[in-house]
Amino acid sequence: MRIKSLTTATALLLCALPGLSQARDTALYLPFEKVVQQMQAEKKLDGSVKFYLAGVQPRGKVKVISANAVTNKKTNAFNKSDEAACEWALQSALLTLQDAAHKANANAVTNIASYYKKNERKDASTYECHAGAVIAGVALKGDLARVD
């Protein structure tokens, strides 16, 4: 009798696994500038590098130093709202781009586009984030530039 119960329980668990293993991948399009301003207010960004989404033209002369800098950041999304996890991943991506700009002697990252799974998406106000039950990710591509 005990073996039959164990077999039944095992069979039920195995039937449930396909549903549990289906990964959620929700695409979100969230305001970019909100996170940049928040990071500047919290002094996470040092202010020496400006960020411009594709479609937003900086004032002044733009000289691209290094085109197509790419960052792909993931974060733990467990027990976080999708928006909070996405903002965390974007913060990490912006810090990486700021570091790359410093190393290239650039003062701006221009023409920033979402680059999730190498699919480029340009928008003048939002970034693309993909959130799942456990991980959220943001991938960006932009040009490291000097704006004078």
Instruction: Map out the domains of the chain as residue ranges.
Output: 24-147
Distance of alpha carbon 135 from alpha carbon 43, whole angstroms:
26
Q: What is the CATH class of 24-147?
A: alpha beta
pLDDT category of residue 14 using cuts at 50, 70 and 90? very low
What's residue 35's pLDDT?
98
Q: Is the pLDDT of residue 16 over 80?
A: no
Q: Which pTM value belongs to this model?
A: 0.84
Residue range 17-60, pLDDT digits in tens: 444 445 899 999 999 999 999 999 999 999 999 999 999 999 99
Distance of alpha carbon 94 from alpha carbon 57, whole angstroms:
18
What's residue 8's pLDDT?
52
